[in-house]
């Protein structure tokens, strides 16, 4: 199907093809004919799927087919929740109209700009206006905006506007606009927004678009923050015990991490297998109930949707995250999708949340809450003086403050006793600063770094070196035994090996006189 088959003007359809819109998407195929019939629509979609073109193409086509010179205010109002969307919509309008740009009079109202020009803009004869709800709400409250002549209202993201507490603005615009003016609303399912949207737009036809973003939001995704690899391992151990008997797929980024994780989980009593180490006939959940799948191998096992999915490492690309869950999307019944996130995974999590348009809920497991202090908050400043900023932890020599008593003087003036300048002022020598201050800072910093590397959840290898402490029966000394009356010192076992350390003195080579 082409855009010319949707009832658009032939000349405008040519501009659409030149703008890069080759074939209409599913949303555009449903919404463009509906808007041509001047009907309201309530579109349930997460994003994209050609949303901007879906409402701009029929809106521009309506303006081109029904030109109107003498009028006051905007004929079409596009209400969006973000300023960056204003730029995107404006750019799309320029692409769509092409050479006919002069026939479309547009304007925008956003925060951060002077009020007077925007108030004059509301009185001008505009064909299409793009506005953010914050600034428009201020103008409406001051009776500077009138929507009685509005011919089409488009709400880009009702959910975001409602969450900002601006539902009253929507109510005022709907009350002022003519009843014959259709409303196109894009909304995402929410416990508060869904009943509000269906109440205020009761006569609108509902369109549901199942795109990848909306399908992702239908999953039960949960973020578990972790300190390090060991903390992730402890969380995985708990989750496998909590959902015992449930098939589990654990995703990692590299094959090396997958193999190490399989060995660590074996130390905790879980039989997990890395898919790249298994033959092809065993790379399924029936043969191995716990599978560790690395992205590096480009393999994803078949899933029915009821499995528990653990993202032990988050991928850098959102496409990889979607590929992991390709079999789970769209399933009627799905299991939990858990994301283990450290500071190194924070940016990857932000990309996923930005793509979905919503933040993923985070929760903590009692007893496994994050404990490590972020690196940026750990102070490595020495107690005295200032450490070299080029070396962390205060290593190197401390910088001695420059002392000046007059203009152009670079050294302090000695006193009558002939002492050095820094000693005359009651300061310690610079070597004391370099030795005492940084050493103390390095010692505390190293202890904290060792503790952070080991972590409060055990060793990095998952407990393979956790051996019980056993005392030697042939120890040569017993604590407190010398206080007993029948004290007899025990003799060491003669079979024990003795270590003798010999030092070899290095001879100095005679220096040869220079000629």
Whole-number CA gyration radius for the chain: 36
Strand 221-225 to strand 337-341: parallel, antiparallel, or no bridges (unpaired)?
parallel
Q: Which two tokens stand for residue 298?
A: 């480009």
CA angle 129, 131, 134 (to 5 degrees): 155
Is residue 485 packed enough to be buried (19+ CB in 10 Å), middle (13-18) or exposed (0-12)? Answer: exposed
Distance CA 186, CA 197 (A): 10
Q: Which two tokens stand for residue 231?
A: 């903390």
Give 401 or 144, the one with higher predicted confidence: 144
User: CA dist 270 to 51, 224, 338, 513, Å?
Assistant: 46, 20, 18, 73
CATH (one of 1.10.540.10, 3.30.360.10, 3.40.50.300, 3.40.710.10) for 3-209: 3.40.50.300
DSSP run (H or E) holding 222: strand 221-225
DSSP secondary structure letters along 153-171: EEES-HHHHHHTT-HHHHH
SS3 content of the chain, % helix, strand, coil (to 5): 40, 10, 50
Summarize pLDDT for 333-388 with one digit per residue, the tens.
788 999 999 999 999 999 998 888 788 999 999 989 988 654 443 344 444 444 44
Summarize pLDDT for 48-89 with one digit per residue, the tens.
567 888 899 999 999 988 888 777 788 999 999 888 888 889
DSSP secondary structure letters along 224-269: EE-SSHHHHHHHHHHHHHHTTTS-EEEEESSHHHHHHHHHHHHHTT
Asked whether the predicted pLDDT for residue 393 surpasses 50, the reply is no
Within this chain, domains 3-209 and 216-356 share the same CATH topology: yes
CA angle 314, 317, 319 (to 5 degrees): 105
Asked whether the predicted pLDDT for residue 490 surpasses 60, the reply is no
| pLDDT, position 395 | 44
| Residue 197, SS3 per DSSP | helix
Closest residue by Cα to residue 44 from 263, 208, 184, 193: 208
Query: Are 54 and 27 a contacting pair, CB within 8 Å?
Result: yes
Q: Which two tokens stand for residue 352?
A: 């996923």
- Average pLDDT of the chain, as a whole number: 76
| pLDDT, position 453 | 46
Asked whether the predicted pLDDT for residue 486 surpasses 80, the reply is no
Closest residue by Cα to residue 368 from 228, 467, 512, 196: 228
| pLDDT, position 505 | 60
Distance CA 58, CA 344 (A): 45
| Residue 172, SS3 per DSSP | helix
Domain boundaries, the chain: 3-209, 216-356
Summarize pLDDT for 261-319 with one digit per residue, the tens.
999 999 999 999 999 999 988 889 988 999 999 999 888 888 888 899 999 999 999 88
Handedness of CA 121, 122, 126, 131 (dihedral sign): positive
Asked whether the predicted pLDDT for residue 130 surpasses 80, the reply is yes
Summarize pLDDT for 5-23 with one digit per residue, the tens.
888 877 888 788 777 787 8
| pLDDT, position 504 | 57
Summarize pLDDT for 424-482 with one digit per residue, the tens.
444 444 444 444 444 344 445 555 554 444 455 554 444 444 334 443 444 444 444 44
pLDDT-derived band at 201 (thresholds 50, 70, 90) equals very high
| pLDDT, position 88 | 86
What angle, rounded to 10 degrees, do the helices at 167-176 and 133-141 form? 60
Query: What is the pLDDT averaged over residues 497-505?
Result: 58
Can you name the CATH fold of 216-356?
A: Rossmann fold (3.40.50)
Q: Which two tokens stand for residue 356?
A: 């979905």
Taking the whole predicted model, whether its pTM rises above 0.85 is answered as no
Give 405 or 320, the one with higher predicted confidence: 320
Distance CA 124, CA 135 (A): 18
Query: Are 159 and 193 a contacting pair, CB within 8 Å?
Result: yes
| pLDDT, position 3 | 81
Asked whether the predicted pLDDT for residue 422 surpasses 60, the reply is no
Buried b (16+ CB within 10 A) or exposed e, 119-135: eebbeeebbbbbbbbbb
DSSP secondary structure letters along 339-356: EEE-GGGHHHHHHHHHHH
């Amino acid at each position: 199907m082409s855009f010319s088959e949707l009832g658009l003007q032939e000349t405008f359809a040519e501009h659409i093809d030149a703008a890069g819109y080759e074939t209409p998407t599913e949303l555009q195929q449903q919404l463009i004919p509906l808007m041509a019939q001047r009907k309201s629509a309530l579109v349930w979609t997460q994003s994209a799927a050609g949303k901007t073109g879906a409402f701009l193409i029929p809106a521009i086509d309506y303006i081109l087919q029904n030109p109107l010179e003498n009028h006051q205010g905007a004929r079409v109002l596009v209400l969006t929740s973000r300023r960056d969307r204003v730029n995107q919509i404006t750019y799309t309008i320029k692409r769509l109209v092409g050479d006919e740009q002069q026939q479309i009079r547009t304007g925008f109202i956003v925060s951060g700009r002077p009020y007077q020009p925007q108030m004059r803009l509301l009185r001008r004869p505009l064909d299409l206006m793009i506005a953010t709800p914050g600034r428009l709400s201020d103008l409406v409250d001051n009776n500077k905006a009138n929507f009685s002549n509005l011919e089409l209202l488009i709400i880009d993201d009702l959910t975001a506007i409602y969450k900002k507490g601006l539902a009253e603005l929507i109510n005022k615009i709907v009350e002022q606009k003519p009843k014959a003016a259709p409303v196109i609303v894009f909304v995402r399912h929410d416990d508060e927004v869904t009943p509000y949207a269906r109440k205020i737009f009761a006569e609108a036809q509902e369109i549901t678009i199942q795109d990848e973003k909306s399908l992702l939001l239908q999953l039960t995704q949960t973020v578990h923050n972790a300190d390090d690899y060991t903390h992730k391992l402890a969380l995985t151990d708990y989750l496998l015990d909590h959902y015992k008997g449930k098939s589990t797929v654990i995703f990692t980024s590299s094959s090396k991490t997958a193999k190490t994780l399989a060995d660590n989980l074996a130390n905790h009593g879980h039989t997990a297998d890395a898919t790249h180490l298994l033959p092809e006939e065993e790379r399924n959940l029936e043969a191995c109930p716990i599978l560790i799948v690395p992205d590096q191998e480009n393999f994803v096992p078949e899933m029915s949707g009821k499995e528990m999915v653990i993202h032990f490492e988050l991928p850098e690309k959102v496409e990889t995250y979607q590929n992991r869950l390709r079999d789970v999307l769209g399933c009627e019944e799905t299991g939990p999708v858990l994301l283990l996130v450290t500071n190194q995974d924070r940016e990857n999590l932000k990309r996923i949340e930005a793509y979905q348009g919503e933040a993923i809920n985070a929760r903590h497991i009692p007893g496994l809450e994050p404990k490590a202090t972020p690196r940026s908050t750990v102070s490595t400043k020495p107690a005295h003086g200032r450490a070299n900023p080029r070396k962390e932890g205060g290593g190197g020599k401390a910088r001695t403050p420059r002392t000046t008593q007059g203009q152009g003087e670079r050294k302090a003036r000695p006193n009558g006793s002939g002492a050095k300048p820094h000693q005359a002022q009651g300061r310690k020598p610079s070597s004391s600063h370099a030795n005492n201050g940084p050493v103390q800072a390095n010692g505390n910093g190293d202890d904290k770094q060792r503790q952070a590397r080991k972590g409060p959840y055990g060793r990095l290898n998952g407990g393979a070196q956790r051996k019980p402490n056993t005392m030697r029966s042939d120890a040569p000394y017993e604590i407190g035994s010398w206080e007993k009356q029948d004290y007899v010192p025990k003799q060491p076992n003669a079979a024990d090996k003795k270590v003798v350390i010999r030092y070899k003195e290095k001879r100095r080579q005679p220096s040869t006189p220079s000629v």
